Structure formats: C-alpha cells, structure tokens
Structure 1
C-alpha cells in the first residue's frame, strides 16, 4: 500500500518511527514535513532529521506561520505532490482545524484515495471563521479519523463527523523504554541518589501539567527528615523544559539535595533518566480549554518498570485504571500528592 503522510510531528526524527514500522510491514511510505517549523524548543527552526530505520521519502516544503502548529501552511501547492505519489491512503497527521490539514484534504479532492485525519482534541471547541469552515471541510472529506481516545471520538461525533473512528493511542518504543539496571545505577550515581525514593517528572514545565502542584509537594517532602515516622527520604527529578523553568531552578536552589532539574535532555536520553526514577508523577490539571489528551510519558514510564501517580485529568485516570499501572490523586491538591508519594516511599514492596 502507498501511504502519503502530512505530518509536522515528523520534523522530529523519533516521530518517524511509526512510519518506519509501516515500512517494515511492507508498505510504501512518503512523508511531507515543514522545512522551517519553529517551536518553543527550537525558536530558530527545527532541524529536520531522518530516523535511521525510516527509508521512505521525507519531503520538506517551506511553510508560512512557521511558529504555529495550527496556523502553518505550505507555500507551494500540494496537488502536484498528490499526483506524483498517487497514494492509496492519505494520512493527515494534523488536527482537523489546522491550515495544513485543510490544504492537504483540498489538494486531494477528486483523486482516488482513502483520507484519514488525526485528532487528539478531547474538548469540544468552537473555532472562529475561517478555521471552523476548514475544520468542517476536513471532517466532510475524511473517510476515517485516527483518534487518540474515546473522548476525541465523542468530540468529532458532536461536530457531526460521520466517518469511521480508528483507535490510535500513542505508542512506545519498548526496545528503548525498558528496565536497564546498569543505566539506572549510572544515572542514580550522577544524581547522588542512594536508597531514597526518586520521584520523576518528564515533560513540559507548564502550569497545566501540574508543575506548581508537584513543586508544592516536593517542598513538603524535602522538609521531611529521613527516618521520621519510619519514612525514607525523597528526591525529585524534573526532566524537560518550559516557561516554569525559573521556578524549578529556585526550588532546586532551596533544596539542592532533594531536587534536581535536567533541561535540554534529548528524547534519546529520556529513557535513561526514567530508569533512574522509582515513580513517575504526572499531576496534570484540567483547564478551561485543555485536559490531558493521553500522557505518552505514562506508557513510557510503565515500559521502564515504573508505577505512575497522576490525577484524573483527561485520559490519565482511564489509562491507569486500564493498565493497573499506578494511582490517581485529586487535582490541585499537593498535600494528597505528597501523602501518596510518602506512602510509596514507606512501602518499598508496593513499588516493585
């Protein structure tokens, strides 16, 4: 089968793994990506790299509005691309309201192919024109929608989408994310961690991910002396980057023996730091326009053998219940989060 994907995520090489797997199954794959996309992590532009196992076409085209995921659009017509590759399946790995999704669907009109659009939007939102019109066009044109969760499917149905819904949970590379005892020992030695519970966070340092809640819990537990009430000490490891980095650095400054912040860690190193942890914390917050869409770090942590403590924001609670891989605490309650972590520190057997 010939597949053409339109995918801004594939500007990052690791996101091409999915397409490498499709190739391994015998499919012919071509991927279109923005050549000049800018993100918070790469304000000067993402350097497009190829995933070693992906051998297909990686077509780079310049876009306008290069600093915005939903607003960026290709500067050159896509119709010739559709004719050249003549895909049997067009997979638009962009939200239905995105300019690039509308461009791809419009460029494919009248051509013999199956059209699939991706969505992770789990809150029903009404967009202003022309984005509402573009979204309606894309949903009418799509033969199927690859949805990250049941909530996403419900949102699309509420928007009168009548095509097929294809469950499309985020995957994990179990060849990379797995227990690595030697790596664990090396990274823990770098942290100066002994027998204490290492509580980890991996992701964006932003309000909606519950960073301030986790900081408050860390503040409480950092002040908890080892051995008090029979509880071992805790150490917190934050891996990622974002606007709240300064607050985390201040927390690290106040508690240098209990808090470590690692910024600028590549995706290829994340699994190593996960192996240094004993439990992953993901205290995400439901916001007016956002709730946790899936929580890829949850399945990555589980693949490394870690339990997870999260909230019930979006998919977190469902995922933890379905896998039995952790516990939930109420949102916005650092005391409850601290109590759960302290309990885990005291119950070593429950973590193994």
Structure 2
C-alpha cells in the first residue's frame, strides 16, 4: 500500500489501547503512525502501564515523564526536537490541550523544526488561568496549524483564545464493540457509569430513584470515594447493583443490563462535562440515555437524538423523565435505535478517522518545501 503520509502523535490518553483506535484506523489506510506516550501513568484508581494495539506496536514510543499524574502539567524527560528529526513526520498531532505543558514543549520543538502541528481542545469553560499559562496557550494557538475541537463549545473557546489555524470539530470516538444481546428483567434498570464523585450528581440520581421506588434497580458501574455512601443510600425500595473493576472491553456487557443510562453531572467553578463518553457508548450498545444540561451533555444528546435532557440538580425533573421512559418501552426503543445510527455516523472510529485524516492531509500538503 502506498504511504499516505507520516503522522506523529503525542498523547497521554493513548496509554490505553481503546484510545488508539483512530490511529490504528489511519495506519490501516496507509499512514505511517508513530505514537509517543508516557512510560507510566498514574490516575486516581491506580497505575496504568502503556500498551499498544497490535497494529501500532512497532511505532509505539514510551518516554519518561515528570508529574505523571497531571494531564496538563506533565512533561517529557526527552529531547522532542531530536525525535522529530529522527522520525521525520509530515505532521505532529498533540492530543493535549493548548494550555498543557506538553503542548508548549512539543509545539516549540515542532516550530523550530518547521513542522506543522495541531492540538486538541476539549476544555469547555473559560477559566482564569495563571498569566504564564495564558501566555503559552496563546503562543500554541497562534502557531498551531489546526485544532481538533472535541465539541462546538471547545471550538468557540479556542477561537476566542486566539487560534489562527484550521479549527475542526473532530469528536472523541466510540469503540465499535459487537452489539451485545440485551438481558431481560422484570425491574426497570437505571444505569450509571463513571467516577463515583460529587460532580457526577449521584445524589440527584439517588433522590430520583427513591421517588420511583419499588420495581426499579439502580445499576452502578464504576468506583470512587462515594461508593460507601451509595451502598448505604435510601433508595425507597429500589434495588442496587454496583459493578467495579470492569475492563473497558467488559463495558458493553454492563450497558446491556440497563434499560436507560443516566449522566446527572453538575457544573462546578472549574469543571463541566466535556463530552460524556458513556452517553455514546451506551447508545452504541442500544441503550437510550438521559443527561443533565451540564457542559456538552445536551450537545451529545441533541446531535444523536438518543435521549432526553433534564435541568442539572433537579431530582424531581429527573424522576419525571425516568417515569415516562419506564412507562413507555416503545419510546426507549425509538431513542436507542435513532441514537445508535447517529453515533455510528458521527462518533464511530471510521467517521472520526475521516475527520482527522482530512485536516492532516490538508496540513501536510500545505507544508513548505
């Protein structure tokens, strides 16, 4: 196969194979894809050892870092310029925010090497960052050839912050799992997947479930500091099942146990839901969704047509929505089918690879020399 181009990706999310799927798709299409990842990564639940997908194993570069638990503040203990000259990519994609330390570190090296580069943007709040961070964010956005915006809000923000390159909506992808068989149950099963932390609005979900009462089962997939509280919560006669320690490949089976997935996130002064990956994962598995109006949740639900939105922090409104879906299985089926079609078209791996490849080719063609 004729080589389409040479891409270098620098990405801490790519320590997980599931986050490499779009790059593997590009490699399948004929791109030479090298991926730089941290040689270790720490998160709130433990240590991650980076592993490549088989298609990317030969070009997977684990480099040492400092501050390995901070997505925006870690740095590589390496010489980026040396690696750029060694690998000779046509374009560099930094799967990091423009205000990240890695964005500046590798952006400076790419600029010095005369190599076009792009960054991702998922941030959806215009937070007041320290002056030095705002200065390097402005430099990165002024010199980036493109920005892969993960939402319309993120795209608007980077333009406001001074992006001069091609700002494209290139959303996160959903794994293309085999569609699981749905399991039947007499109870109406309301699911949640994610971190068990206050900003995810679990107290609102518990309150809504209590209002629904008997005949409902709350299915929780995840872990975090609120697990003990959740297991002791008064659910008004509803059942509770908590699943922890599931690998990403096991999530499709977990979604298949749900009649509806709820993401009741609440906005804080420093965070709003930037995507809600569980929404598109659930829809892929044929499960309709309900979400609060925090951050990008309404955007995801609107463009997929696969669910309903309620005002954040409003347990009574959530209970009404869930009660209506409980009483109307036909509506649940309609939402799930419509949502799955839209997810495939917008968030499927081939669709996201198409979006990324288009801008990569334009940038590579426009490269001087």
Give the structure-2-normalised TM-score. Answer: 0.85
Change (3 A) 1:146 1:61: same
Give the C-alpha shift of residue 173 in structure 1: 2.2
Query: Secondary structure in 2 aligned to 1:241?
Result: coil
More helix by share: 2
* Cα deviation code 1:110-160 (max 9, x no counterpart): 324321101100111231143222212211220110001111111111112
Could you list the per-position Cα deviations for residues 26-48 of structure 1 after superposition, in whole angstroms to 9, with x for gaps in the alignment?
A: 10000111112211122xx3111
Q: Which residue of 2 aligns with 1:334?
A: 315
- Residue aligning to 2:191: 200
1:277-310: CA deviations, max 9, x gaps?
A: 1111011112222222121111111111111111
Secondary structure at the aligned position of 2:123 is classed as coil
- 1:3 aligns with one of 2, 7, 17: 7
Distance 1:314 1:159 in 2: 19
Q: Distance in 1 between matches of 2:268 and 2:13?
A: 24
Q: Distance in 2 between matches of 1:332 and 1:264?
A: 28
Of residues 240, 263, 269, the one that matches 1:288 is: 269
Which residue of 2 is the match for residue 242 of structure 1? 224
1:274 to 255, 274, 289: 255
**Aligned pairs, number:** 329
Q: 2:292 aligns with which of 286, 311, 317?
A: 311
Shift of 1:105: 0.6
Asked if the contact 2:209/2:236 (under 8 Å) is kept, the reply is no
Quote how far apart the aligned CAs of 1:268 are. Answer: 1.0
The answer as to whether partners of 1:17 and 1:54 remain within 8 angstroms in 2 is no
**Pairing 1:218–2:222 present:** no
Shift of residue 255, structure 1, vs aligned partner:
7.5
1:80 matched residue in structure 2: 82
Q: Per the alignment, in what secondary structure is the counterpart of residue 116 of structure 1?
A: strand
Out of 57, 74, 90, the position equivalent to 2:59 is 57
Paired position in structure 2 for 1:33: 37
CA–CA distance in structure 2, aligned partners of residues 217 and 284 of structure 1: 14
Cα distance in 1 between the residues matched to 2:236 and 2:230 = 10
Return 5+ residue gaps in structure 2 as ranges: 334-369
Aligned to 2:359: none
RMSD: 1.8
Is structure 2 residue 140 aligned with structure 1 residue 149?
no
* Deviation of 1:177 (Å): 5.5
Q: Distance in 2 between matches of 1:195 and 1:99?
A: 51
| Offset, 1:74 | 0.8
Please say if residues 145 and 166 of structure 1, whose CA atoms lie closer than 8 Å, have aligned partners that are also in contact. Answer: yes
| Cα distance, 1:163–1:242 mapped onto 2, change above 3 Å | same
- Runs of 5+ consecutive residues of structure 1 not aligned to the other structure: 189-193, 226-232
The answer to which of 19-28 and 209-218 deviates more is 209-218
Asked if 1 retains the 8 angstrom alpha-carbon contact of 2:144 and 2:164, the reply is: no
Given that residues 213 and 333 in structure 1 are in contact (C-alpha distance below 8 angstroms), is that contact kept between their aligned partners in structure 2?
Answer: yes
Q: How far is the alpha carbon of 1:251 from its aligned partner?
A: 2.8
